[in-house]
């Protein structure tokens, strides 16, 4: 079921025009790229002529795909292209594309990757069906989505409450669902894809790790809304930002659920 939210990703939440958004997304890339690159590099060697990177953000995965598949045409999309520069990669093009309303022809890509996208889209089930159709027969799908379950196990109470508060605010504002990624292997199989595999990774949130930086900036961005949630004390958000800014706190960050499949 699609829930109607007052706003969408990028309207006021995580808009690319925000002063720190590029730095926040670059911290995310530093935390996640090693796993993404290892997954993409480990795919069986098959001819790849057309790749699609959905919601490219700052473009680190799109550039990697262009370098790994020099004979392929890589199309990378986002709602907002301001952080993307394809000048060093002749086989890479950036296209403004809203995955909830814009399309591609059926069977037009041999490899499709998206990271931290579908959780933020209330229409994720329909979009997943579209993505499956855009894959050519034999094409590979790699989806990496953020899951909140490790945060329930955090030992620092303020960190746990504020971190879970991030997901509550995102669910209420834009319809994010970070419980959903554990459904993803079943949903992908339900779309008729085969060879479905799932891997879960969980980087640590410490002040000087990329995930620690990303999470501190995320909490800063949503701080006033988190502070207004029931059960959050007046100092909880500033306490957690402070603990993520210096040595001491060592807690699980979000998990990344990576699902690969073949059409
Ligand atoms: C959390 S960021 C992840 C960026 C990148 N995939 C990464 O992992 O580094 C989410 C990205 O999705 C893009 N996005 C959000 N809604 C979108 C939509 N409906 N269509 C295309 N891109 C979208 C945002 O602009 C943003 O760049």
The pLDDT, as a whole number, for residue 47 is 86
159 Cα distance to chain centroid? 21
Evaluate whether residue 16 is within a structural domain. Answer: no
Quick check: is 181 in a domain?
yes
CA-nearest residue, atom 4 of ligand 1 = 57
Q: What is the DSSP string of 110-158?
A: EEEEEES-GGG-TTHHHHHHHHHHHEEEEEEEEEEEEE-GGGGG-SSHH
What's 181's domain CATH number? 3.40.50.150
CA distances from 262 to 20, 31, 136, 258 (A): 37, 26, 9, 14
Does the C-beta of 98 come closer than 6 Å to ligand 1?
yes
How high is the pLDDT of residue 87? Answer: 75
Report the SS3 class of residue 185: helix
59 lines ligand 1 (CB under 6 A): no
Please give the number of the atom of ligand 1 that sits closest to the Cα of 98.
20
pLDDT confidence of residue 1: 46
- Has residue 211 been placed in a domain? yes
Whole-number pLDDT of residue 113: 98
Residue 7 belongs to a domain:
no
C-alpha to C-alpha distance for 160 and 153, rounded to whole angstroms: 8
The reply to whether 155 falls in a domain is: yes
pLDDT of residue 3: 53
Please work out whether the CB of residue 52 comes within 6 Å of at least one atom of ligand 1. no
Res 27: pLDDT: 97
Distance between CA atoms of residues 122 and 115, nearest Å:
16
Is 4 within the bounds of a domain?
no
- Work out which ligand 1 atom sits closest to the CA atom of 10: 25
Q: Where do we find the tokens 């990697």?
A: 64
Give the separation between CA 263 and CA 246, rounded to whole angstroms.
46
Beta bridge partners of 257: 145, 200
Terminal-residue alpha carbon distance, the chain: 25
Parent domain of 182: 21-262
CA distance 165 to 161: 6
pLDDT per residue as tens, the chain (263 positions): 455 677 999 999 999 999 899 999 999 999 999 999 999 999 987 889 999 999 999 999 999 999 999 999 999 999 999 999 877 899 999 999 999 999 999 999 999 999 999 999 999 999 999 999 999 999 999 999 999 999 999 999 999 999 999 999 999 999 999 999 999 999 999 999 999 999 999 999 999 999 999 999 999 999 999 999 999 999 999 999 999 999 999 999 999 999 999 99
Whole-number Å distance, alpha carbon 73 to ligand 1 midpoint, is 21
Please name the residue that has the structure tokens 């995580």.
14
Q: Is residue 70 situated within a structural domain?
A: yes
Q: How many domains does the chain have?
A: 1
Contacts of 215 (CB under 8 A, 6+ apart): 163, 205, 244, 253, 254
């Amino acid at each position: 079921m699609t829930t109607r939210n007052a706003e969408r990703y990028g309207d006021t939440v995580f808009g690319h025009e925000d002063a720190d958004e590029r730095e926040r997304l670059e911290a995310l890339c530093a935390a996640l790229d090693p796993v993404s690159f290892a997954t993409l590099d480990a795919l069986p060697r098959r001819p790849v002529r057309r790749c699609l990177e959905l919601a490219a953000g700052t473009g680190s995965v799109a550039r990697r795909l262009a370098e790994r598949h020099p004979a392929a045409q890589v199309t990378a999309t986002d709602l907002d292209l301001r952080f993307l520069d394809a000048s060093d990669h002749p086989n890479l093009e950036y296209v403004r594309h809203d995955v909830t309303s814009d399309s591609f022809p059926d069977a037009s890509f041999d490899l499709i990757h998206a990271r931290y996208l579908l959780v933020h889209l209330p229409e994720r089930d329909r979009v997943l069906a579209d993505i499956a159709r855009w894959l050519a027969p034999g094409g590979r799908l790699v989806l990496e989505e953020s899951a909140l379950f490790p945060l329930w196990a955090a030992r620092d109470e303020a960190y746990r409450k504020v971190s879970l508060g991030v997901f509550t605010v995102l669910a209420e504002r834009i319809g994010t669902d970070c419980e959903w990624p554990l459904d993803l292997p079943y949903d992908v199989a339900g779309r008729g894809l085969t060879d479905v595999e799932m891997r879960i990774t969980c980087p640590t949130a410490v002040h000087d790790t990329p995930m620690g930086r990303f999470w501190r900036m995320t909490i800063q961005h949503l701080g006033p809304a988190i502070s207004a949630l029931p059960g959050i004390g007046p100092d909880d958000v500033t306490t957690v930002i402070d603990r993520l800014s210096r040595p001491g706190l060592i807690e699980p960050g979000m998990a990344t659920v990576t699902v690969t499949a073949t059409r």
